[in-house]
Structure 1
Amino acid sequence: MQDATPGERMEKAVREYFKGEKTGGFVLLAWALMATLAAWFLHGQFVGNLFQGIVPPLVALALVQLAVGAAVCFLTDSRRRRLLSQLAGAGQSWFPAEVERMERVLANFEKVKTAEQLLLLLGFGFLLGGVFFGAGDYMAGTGVGLCIQSAFSLVFDLFASLRANLYRHELKMYGRD
Protein backbone atom coordinates (compact mmCIF):
# COMPACT_ATOMS: atom_id res chain seq x y z
CA MET A 1 0.00 0.00 0.00
CA GLN A 2 2.85 2.34 -0.92
CA ASP A 3 0.72 4.72 -2.99
CA ALA A 4 -1.99 5.15 -0.37
CA THR A 5 -2.45 8.43 1.43
CA PRO A 6 -1.70 8.58 5.16
CA GLY A 7 -5.44 8.68 5.85
CA GLU A 8 -6.05 5.57 3.74
CA ARG A 9 -3.20 3.73 5.48
CA MET A 10 -4.58 4.70 8.87
CA GLU A 11 -8.10 3.64 7.92
CA LYS A 12 -6.75 0.26 6.84
CA ALA A 13 -4.78 -0.05 10.10
CA VAL A 14 -7.88 0.74 12.19
CA ARG A 15 -9.97 -1.79 10.29
CA GLU A 16 -7.32 -4.52 10.55
CA TYR A 17 -6.61 -3.93 14.23
CA PHE A 18 -10.24 -4.04 15.27
CA LYS A 19 -10.96 -7.01 13.01
CA GLY A 20 -8.17 -8.84 14.82
CA GLU A 21 -9.53 -7.72 18.19
CA LYS A 22 -13.00 -9.03 17.39
CA THR A 23 -11.59 -12.32 16.12
CA GLY A 24 -9.54 -12.57 19.30
CA GLY A 25 -12.66 -11.97 21.38
CA PHE A 26 -14.43 -14.83 19.63
CA VAL A 27 -11.39 -17.10 20.09
CA LEU A 28 -11.39 -16.28 23.80
CA LEU A 29 -15.12 -17.01 24.05
CA ALA A 30 -14.67 -20.33 22.24
CA TRP A 31 -11.76 -21.32 24.51
CA ALA A 32 -13.76 -20.41 27.63
CA LEU A 33 -16.65 -22.53 26.39
CA MET A 34 -14.34 -25.47 25.61
CA ALA A 35 -12.67 -25.20 29.02
CA THR A 36 -16.05 -25.13 30.74
CA LEU A 37 -17.24 -28.15 28.76
CA ALA A 38 -14.00 -29.99 29.54
CA ALA A 39 -14.46 -29.22 33.24
CA TRP A 40 -18.05 -30.45 33.14
CA PHE A 41 -16.94 -33.62 31.35
CA LEU A 42 -14.10 -34.25 33.80
CA HIS A 43 -16.35 -33.65 36.78
CA GLY A 44 -19.09 -35.93 35.49
CA GLN A 45 -17.14 -38.73 33.85
CA PHE A 46 -14.00 -39.26 35.90
CA VAL A 47 -13.57 -40.11 39.52
CA GLY A 48 -10.34 -39.44 41.23
CA ASN A 49 -8.70 -36.48 42.80
CA LEU A 50 -6.43 -35.74 39.83
CA PHE A 51 -9.33 -35.11 37.46
CA GLN A 52 -11.42 -33.32 40.09
CA GLY A 53 -8.48 -31.02 40.83
CA ILE A 54 -8.35 -29.85 37.22
CA VAL A 55 -11.93 -28.55 37.34
CA PRO A 56 -11.68 -25.44 39.61
CA PRO A 57 -8.91 -23.62 37.71
CA LEU A 58 -10.51 -24.49 34.36
CA VAL A 59 -13.82 -22.99 35.45
CA ALA A 60 -12.41 -20.00 37.37
CA LEU A 61 -10.20 -18.81 34.53
CA ALA A 62 -12.87 -19.64 31.93
CA LEU A 63 -15.19 -17.19 33.69
CA VAL A 64 -12.56 -14.46 33.40
CA GLN A 65 -11.95 -15.36 29.75
CA LEU A 66 -15.69 -15.34 29.08
CA ALA A 67 -16.06 -11.84 30.54
CA VAL A 68 -13.04 -10.46 28.66
CA GLY A 69 -14.00 -12.14 25.38
CA ALA A 70 -17.58 -10.88 25.59
CA ALA A 71 -16.45 -7.34 26.40
CA VAL A 72 -14.02 -7.31 23.47
CA CYS A 73 -16.66 -8.66 21.07
CA PHE A 74 -19.33 -6.19 22.14
CA LEU A 75 -17.16 -3.06 22.36
CA THR A 76 -14.99 -3.51 19.28
CA ASP A 77 -17.47 -2.45 16.60
CA SER A 78 -18.46 0.79 18.33
CA ARG A 79 -14.81 1.74 18.93
CA ARG A 80 -13.95 1.01 15.30
CA ARG A 81 -16.89 3.05 14.01
CA ARG A 82 -16.06 5.96 16.32
CA LEU A 83 -12.41 6.02 15.25
CA LEU A 84 -13.22 5.77 11.55
CA SER A 85 -15.71 8.62 11.79
CA GLN A 86 -13.16 10.73 13.68
CA LEU A 87 -10.53 9.87 11.08
CA ALA A 88 -12.86 10.93 8.27
CA GLY A 89 -14.01 14.13 9.93
CA ALA A 90 -11.33 15.38 12.26
CA GLY A 91 -8.10 14.77 10.39
CA GLN A 92 -5.26 14.09 12.82
CA SER A 93 -6.80 15.69 15.91
CA TRP A 94 -8.14 12.37 17.23
CA PHE A 95 -4.95 10.37 17.08
CA PRO A 96 -3.06 11.65 20.19
CA ALA A 97 -5.88 10.33 22.39
CA GLU A 98 -5.77 7.01 20.55
CA VAL A 99 -1.99 6.75 20.95
CA GLU A 100 -2.42 7.44 24.66
CA ARG A 101 -5.15 4.79 24.89
CA MET A 102 -2.92 2.25 23.17
CA GLU A 103 -0.06 3.07 25.56
CA ARG A 104 -2.41 2.25 28.45
CA VAL A 105 -3.55 -0.94 26.71
CA LEU A 106 0.05 -2.06 26.21
CA ALA A 107 0.96 -1.24 29.82
CA ASN A 108 -2.01 -3.32 30.96
CA PHE A 109 -0.88 -6.18 28.72
CA GLU A 110 2.45 -6.21 30.55
CA LYS A 111 0.69 -6.51 33.90
CA VAL A 112 -1.64 -9.22 32.63
CA LYS A 113 1.22 -11.19 31.08
CA THR A 114 3.12 -11.01 34.37
CA ALA A 115 0.08 -12.33 36.24
CA GLU A 116 -0.32 -15.14 33.69
CA GLN A 117 3.34 -16.08 34.05
CA LEU A 118 2.93 -16.19 37.83
CA LEU A 119 -0.16 -18.40 37.47
CA LEU A 120 1.79 -20.69 35.17
CA LEU A 121 4.58 -20.96 37.73
CA LEU A 122 2.06 -21.50 40.51
CA GLY A 123 0.41 -24.26 38.49
CA PHE A 124 3.77 -25.87 37.85
CA GLY A 125 4.53 -25.64 41.57
CA PHE A 126 1.20 -27.28 42.43
CA LEU A 127 1.88 -30.00 39.90
CA LEU A 128 5.34 -30.68 41.30
CA GLY A 129 4.02 -30.56 44.85
CA GLY A 130 1.28 -33.02 44.04
CA VAL A 131 3.47 -35.45 42.13
CA PHE A 132 6.80 -35.35 43.95
CA PHE A 133 6.21 -33.90 47.40
CA GLY A 134 3.15 -35.77 48.64
CA ALA A 135 0.59 -32.97 48.37
CA GLY A 136 -1.74 -35.35 46.56
CA ASP A 137 -3.46 -35.89 43.28
CA TYR A 138 -5.95 -33.06 43.76
CA MET A 139 -3.08 -30.59 44.08
CA ALA A 140 -1.43 -32.06 40.98
CA GLY A 141 -4.71 -31.75 39.07
CA THR A 142 -5.09 -28.14 40.17
CA GLY A 143 -1.59 -27.53 38.86
CA VAL A 144 -2.48 -29.12 35.52
CA GLY A 145 -5.60 -26.96 35.22
CA LEU A 146 -3.70 -23.79 36.10
CA CYS A 147 -0.94 -24.62 33.63
CA ILE A 148 -3.40 -25.28 30.80
CA GLN A 149 -5.42 -22.12 31.34
CA SER A 150 -2.53 -19.77 32.07
CA ALA A 151 -0.45 -21.07 29.16
CA PHE A 152 -3.33 -20.50 26.75
CA SER A 153 -4.00 -17.04 28.19
CA LEU A 154 -0.34 -16.09 27.99
CA VAL A 155 0.00 -17.14 24.35
CA PHE A 156 -3.28 -15.44 23.49
CA ASP A 157 -2.15 -12.19 25.12
CA LEU A 158 1.27 -12.33 23.47
CA PHE A 159 -0.45 -12.29 20.09
CA ALA A 160 -2.89 -9.57 21.20
CA SER A 161 0.04 -7.50 22.46
CA LEU A 162 1.84 -7.91 19.15
CA ARG A 163 -1.27 -6.79 17.29
CA ALA A 164 -1.59 -3.76 19.60
CA ASN A 165 2.09 -2.85 19.09
CA LEU A 166 1.68 -2.97 15.32
CA TYR A 167 -1.40 -0.76 15.53
CA ARG A 168 0.41 1.71 17.82
CA HIS A 169 3.27 1.82 15.30
CA GLU A 170 0.80 2.71 12.54
CA LEU A 171 -0.66 5.43 14.75
CA LYS A 172 2.76 6.93 15.32
CA MET A 173 3.58 6.77 11.61
CA TYR A 174 0.29 8.54 10.88
CA GLY A 175 1.28 11.27 13.31
CA ARG A 176 4.52 11.85 11.39
CA ASP A 177 2.81 12.21 8.01
Structure 2
Amino acid sequence: MNKDVNVPAVIINAQGELVINASPTSSKHDFDFFVGKWNIHNKKLKSRLSQCTEWEEFESTQEMYLVLNGLGNIDNFLATVKSQAFEGMTVRLFNPITKLWSIYWADSNNGILDPPVIGSFNNRIGYFFTKDIVHSKSILVLFRWDARDQNNPIWSQAFSEDDGKNWEWNWYMYMSKL
Protein backbone atom coordinates (compact mmCIF):
# COMPACT_ATOMS: atom_id res chain seq x y z
CA MET A 1 0.00 0.00 0.00
CA ASN A 2 1.15 3.49 -0.71
CA LYS A 3 -0.04 7.03 -0.31
CA ASP A 4 -1.21 8.73 -3.46
CA VAL A 5 -1.33 12.49 -3.10
CA ASN A 6 -3.28 12.81 -6.37
CA VAL A 7 -6.34 10.91 -5.13
CA PRO A 8 -8.99 13.27 -3.75
CA ALA A 9 -9.68 12.89 -0.03
CA VAL A 10 -12.43 10.39 0.67
CA ILE A 11 -15.24 11.73 2.84
CA ILE A 12 -17.25 9.29 4.95
CA ASN A 13 -20.19 10.75 6.87
CA ALA A 14 -21.35 9.84 10.40
CA GLN A 15 -23.54 7.05 8.98
CA GLY A 16 -20.50 5.48 7.31
CA GLU A 17 -21.62 6.44 3.78
CA LEU A 18 -19.30 7.81 1.12
CA VAL A 19 -19.91 11.46 0.29
CA ILE A 20 -19.11 12.08 -3.37
CA ASN A 21 -19.48 15.51 -4.92
CA ALA A 22 -19.31 16.18 -8.65
CA SER A 23 -16.64 18.42 -10.06
CA PRO A 24 -17.91 21.74 -11.45
CA THR A 25 -17.09 20.62 -15.01
CA SER A 26 -18.74 17.18 -14.84
CA SER A 27 -20.97 16.47 -17.85
CA LYS A 28 -22.59 13.71 -19.86
CA HIS A 29 -19.78 14.19 -22.41
CA ASP A 30 -16.97 13.08 -20.06
CA PHE A 31 -16.69 9.62 -21.67
CA ASP A 32 -17.30 10.69 -25.29
CA PHE A 33 -13.57 10.22 -26.01
CA PHE A 34 -14.03 6.49 -25.33
CA VAL A 35 -16.55 5.80 -28.12
CA GLY A 36 -15.20 3.21 -30.55
CA LYS A 37 -12.82 0.26 -30.59
CA TRP A 38 -9.67 -0.10 -28.52
CA ASN A 39 -6.66 -2.35 -28.01
CA ILE A 40 -5.72 -2.61 -24.34
CA HIS A 41 -2.54 -3.72 -22.59
CA ASN A 42 -3.50 -4.90 -19.07
CA LYS A 43 -1.18 -5.05 -16.08
CA LYS A 44 -2.83 -6.67 -13.05
CA LEU A 45 -1.50 -7.79 -9.65
CA LYS A 46 -1.61 -11.58 -9.33
CA SER A 47 -3.08 -11.26 -5.84
CA ARG A 48 -4.79 -8.29 -4.23
CA LEU A 49 -4.48 -7.02 -0.67
CA SER A 50 -1.78 -9.57 0.12
CA GLN A 51 1.44 -7.55 -0.29
CA CYS A 52 1.86 -9.15 -3.73
CA THR A 53 4.37 -7.50 -6.08
CA GLU A 54 3.99 -9.91 -9.02
CA TRP A 55 2.09 -8.68 -12.06
CA GLU A 56 0.38 -10.56 -14.86
CA GLU A 57 0.05 -8.87 -18.23
CA PHE A 58 -2.35 -9.62 -21.06
CA GLU A 59 -3.95 -8.03 -24.11
CA SER A 60 -7.63 -7.31 -24.62
CA THR A 61 -10.02 -5.40 -26.84
CA GLN A 62 -12.93 -3.20 -25.98
CA GLU A 63 -15.72 -1.45 -27.83
CA MET A 64 -17.85 1.33 -26.34
CA TYR A 65 -20.99 2.99 -27.64
CA LEU A 66 -23.35 5.67 -26.31
CA VAL A 67 -26.89 4.89 -25.10
CA LEU A 68 -29.80 6.90 -23.68
CA ASN A 69 -29.07 9.94 -25.87
CA GLY A 70 -25.61 10.24 -24.35
CA LEU A 71 -26.62 9.91 -20.69
CA GLY A 72 -25.00 6.48 -20.68
CA ASN A 73 -22.64 4.16 -22.45
CA ILE A 74 -21.89 0.46 -22.58
CA ASP A 75 -18.69 -1.37 -23.43
CA ASN A 76 -17.70 -4.95 -24.05
CA PHE A 77 -14.26 -6.13 -22.82
CA LEU A 78 -12.78 -9.30 -24.39
CA ALA A 79 -9.59 -11.07 -23.31
CA THR A 80 -7.94 -14.45 -22.97
CA VAL A 81 -6.43 -14.85 -19.50
CA LYS A 82 -4.50 -18.01 -18.60
CA SER A 83 -5.86 -19.69 -21.78
CA GLN A 84 -9.45 -18.93 -20.71
CA ALA A 85 -11.85 -16.65 -22.56
CA PHE A 86 -12.88 -13.71 -20.37
CA GLU A 87 -15.62 -11.20 -21.07
CA GLY A 88 -16.56 -8.12 -19.11
CA MET A 89 -18.99 -5.31 -19.63
CA THR A 90 -19.38 -1.86 -18.23
CA VAL A 91 -22.54 0.23 -17.98
CA ARG A 92 -21.94 3.91 -17.21
CA LEU A 93 -24.84 6.23 -16.36
CA PHE A 94 -24.72 10.01 -15.90
CA ASN A 95 -27.21 11.63 -13.51
CA PRO A 96 -27.89 15.15 -14.87
CA ILE A 97 -29.22 16.30 -11.49
CA THR A 98 -26.24 15.25 -9.32
CA LYS A 99 -23.75 15.45 -12.24
CA LEU A 100 -22.25 12.16 -11.03
CA TRP A 101 -21.42 9.08 -13.06
CA SER A 102 -22.27 5.59 -11.78
CA ILE A 103 -20.10 2.85 -13.31
CA TYR A 104 -21.26 -0.77 -13.12
CA TRP A 105 -19.05 -3.78 -14.01
CA ALA A 106 -19.98 -7.41 -14.64
CA ASP A 107 -17.86 -10.25 -15.99
CA SER A 108 -18.00 -13.83 -17.17
CA ASN A 109 -16.51 -15.08 -13.87
CA ASN A 110 -19.48 -14.00 -11.73
CA GLY A 111 -22.35 -12.84 -13.93
CA ILE A 112 -23.41 -10.13 -11.46
CA LEU A 113 -23.13 -6.35 -11.41
CA ASP A 114 -20.57 -5.10 -8.91
CA PRO A 115 -21.58 -2.14 -6.71
CA PRO A 116 -21.28 1.02 -8.80
CA VAL A 117 -18.27 3.27 -8.46
CA ILE A 118 -19.48 6.87 -8.40
CA GLY A 119 -17.67 10.07 -9.31
CA SER A 120 -16.80 12.60 -11.99
CA PHE A 121 -14.04 14.06 -14.15
CA ASN A 122 -12.05 17.22 -13.55
CA ASN A 123 -9.50 18.35 -16.16
CA ARG A 124 -9.90 15.00 -18.01
CA ILE A 125 -9.05 12.90 -14.94
CA GLY A 126 -11.92 11.02 -13.33
CA TYR A 127 -12.11 9.54 -9.84
CA PHE A 128 -14.85 7.05 -8.97
CA PHE A 129 -15.34 5.40 -5.55
CA THR A 130 -17.39 2.73 -3.80
CA LYS A 131 -17.33 0.48 -0.76
CA ASP A 132 -16.96 -3.28 -1.22
CA ILE A 133 -15.84 -6.42 0.56
CA VAL A 134 -12.77 -8.38 -0.59
CA HIS A 135 -11.33 -11.34 1.35
CA SER A 136 -13.93 -10.63 4.10
CA LYS A 137 -12.47 -7.11 4.51
CA SER A 138 -14.40 -3.88 4.06
CA ILE A 139 -12.52 -1.78 1.54
CA LEU A 140 -12.82 1.27 -0.65
CA VAL A 141 -12.52 0.79 -4.40
CA LEU A 142 -11.21 3.51 -6.70
CA PHE A 143 -11.34 3.69 -10.50
CA ARG A 144 -9.20 6.44 -12.03
CA TRP A 145 -9.59 7.47 -15.66
CA ASP A 146 -6.77 9.56 -17.10
CA ALA A 147 -8.06 10.89 -20.44
CA ARG A 148 -5.58 13.72 -20.93
CA ASP A 149 -4.35 11.84 -24.02
CA GLN A 150 -7.73 10.91 -25.47
CA ASN A 151 -6.24 8.48 -28.02
CA ASN A 152 -4.31 6.65 -25.28
CA PRO A 153 -6.27 6.90 -22.02
CA ILE A 154 -5.25 4.96 -18.91
CA TRP A 155 -7.70 3.29 -16.55
CA SER A 156 -6.49 2.09 -13.16
CA GLN A 157 -7.99 0.49 -10.07
CA ALA A 158 -6.94 0.69 -6.43
CA PHE A 159 -8.16 -0.72 -3.12
CA SER A 160 -7.87 0.84 0.33
CA GLU A 161 -8.28 -0.93 3.66
CA ASP A 162 -7.95 2.29 5.70
CA ASP A 163 -10.67 4.59 4.33
CA GLY A 164 -8.49 6.06 1.59
CA LYS A 165 -5.35 6.93 3.53
CA ASN A 166 -3.34 4.36 1.52
CA TRP A 167 -4.10 2.71 -1.82
CA GLU A 168 -2.97 -0.53 -3.44
CA TRP A 169 -2.93 0.05 -7.20
CA ASN A 170 -3.76 -3.38 -8.60
CA TRP A 171 -4.84 -3.06 -12.25
CA TYR A 172 -3.80 -0.77 -15.10
CA MET A 173 -5.23 -0.65 -18.62
CA TYR A 174 -3.21 1.18 -21.27
CA MET A 175 -5.52 1.85 -24.21
CA SER A 176 -4.86 2.59 -27.87
CA LYS A 177 -7.67 3.66 -30.19
CA LEU A 178 -8.18 1.56 -33.30
| Normalised-by-shorter TM-score class | under 0.3
Give the structure, 1 or 2, with the largest relative contact order (CA under 8 Å, sep 6 or more).
1
TM-score, normalised with respect to structure 1: 0.23
More strand as a share of residues: 2
Tell which structure's C-alpha radius of gyration is larger.
1
TM-score, normalised with respect to structure 2: 0.23
